[in-house]
Structure 1
Amino acid sequence: MSFTVSHVSRSPEHGFSKSVVPSIQLLAGLGVEGDAHRGVTVKHRSRVKQDPSQPNLRQVHLIHGELLDALQDQGFTVAPGQLGENITTRGLDLLGLPTGSLLRIGAEAIIEITGLRNPCAQIDAFQQGLLAAVLGRDHEGNLIRKAGVMGIVRQGGTILPGDTILVALPPLPHRALERV
């Protein structure tokens, strides 16, 4: 099975969507160069209000392109970058990875997966009904968040569309992803 990057995105300003660009540069311990969410401490506005000194576990946002396909099948118009992700992937079950998984992307970059993105009401301002479409329930009634995963940059490097993604799982026992 081949895992790849289909698109990369960034935005220097806080907003919902990010612009697709030819490449992004990851900076170790910081995030995406030129992105509003880059930094050692939390940059998401709601998290800053709670405690601006907390560590930034949301330096990089990844979404599986298959989610965008499923949303389009449901009648939504969603393109790469529009849900705020920095990296859109293909072939990789991001939501099934355990906490602490390492993704080597391209020649150098390594991202450690910290948890699930918790979609907020802003998503419905982008397109009405989208929040419900990226949330679900399992057979036990537990909430399922489908809007991608968050990570921190362990090793910097350039990421381009078409780059291969290699996955290294953490030692057992694995811990399921939770919202961060």
Structure 2
Amino acid sequence: MSIMAKVIAINISEKKGEIKHPIEKGFFKENHGLIEDAHAGKWHRQVSLLGNESIEKMQRLGIEGLSPGKFAENITTEGLVLYELPIGTKMKIGEVLMEVTQIGKECHEGCEIRKLTGDCIMPKEGIFTKILKSGWIEPGDEIEIL
């Protein structure tokens, strides 16, 4: 598939339930996720991805101060409708191979964005993957759907 999709940010947090902050590049370990991220581990939601297009939707609702990582996503993307990818879809980003394991999620109690806006985009439009092959990902890397 020749969609021009790319990574615009890699985001990390040391604790669950915190907003993630952008980093220069991230090492994504096979069957673990983003090294040093609170959500990494041996489970099906190792890495979370959210499209910048979804963040822009929330900005159009008048929510200010939104930026990559505010929805606690590990990878902010551009140019791809992530939530339309079927579970089991494999993607190559940088050196990393990952597989889509879940679309959306339950919003946790006390979600800051939901408190501010009455809605949060991550439960509907965020996706989760597991890492099949380790490697580095950095902003600007192309996303290839396999």
TM-score normalised per structure 1:
0.73
**Alpha-carbon distance in 2 for matches of 1:130, 1:124:** 10
**Alpha-carbon distance in 1 for matches of 2:97, 2:79:** 18
Kept in 1: contact 2:50–2:125 (CA 8 A): yes
Q: Gaps (5+ residues) in structure 2? A: none
**Alpha-carbon distance in 2 for matches of 1:72, 1:17:** 17
Structure-2 change in CA distance of 1:123 and 1:90 (3 Å): farther
Kept in 2: contact 1:5–1:161 (CA 8 A): yes
1:68 is paired with a residue of what secondary structure? Answer: helix
**Alpha-carbon distance in 1 for matches of 2:132, 2:39:** 16
Between Structure 1 and Structure 2, whose CA radius of gyration is higher? 1
CA displacement, residues 126-152 of structure 1 (integer Å, 9 cap, x when unaligned): 4525453538xxxxxxxxx53410010
1:13 shift after superposition: 1.6
Kept in 1: contact 2:12–2:21 (CA 8 A): yes
What are the within-5 Å matches in structure 2 for residues 8-19 of structure 1? 8-19=10-21
Using CA pairs under 8 Å that are at least 6 residues apart, name the structure with larger relative contact order, 1 or 2. 2
**Structure 2 residue 66 is the aligned partner of structure 1 residue 88:** no
**Alpha-carbon distance in 1 for matches of 2:106, 2:118:** 7
1:87 shift after superposition: 0.2
User: In percent, how many aligned pairs have the same letter?
Assistant: 30
TM-score normalised per structure 2:
0.89
Q: Gaps (5+ residues) in structure 1? A: 41-55, 136-144, 169-180
- Letter aligned with residue 110 of structure 1: L
- Letter aligned with residue 94 of structure 1: L
Kept in 2: contact 1:24–1:33 (CA 8 A): yes
Picking from 107, 112, 121, the partner of 1:125 is: 112
Q: In the alignment, what sits opposite 2:28?
A: 26
Picking from 130, 139, 142, the partner of 1:161 is: 139
1:122 shift after superposition: 4.3
Kept in 2: contact 1:124–1:131 (CA 8 A): no
Kept in 2: contact 1:16–1:83 (CA 8 A): no
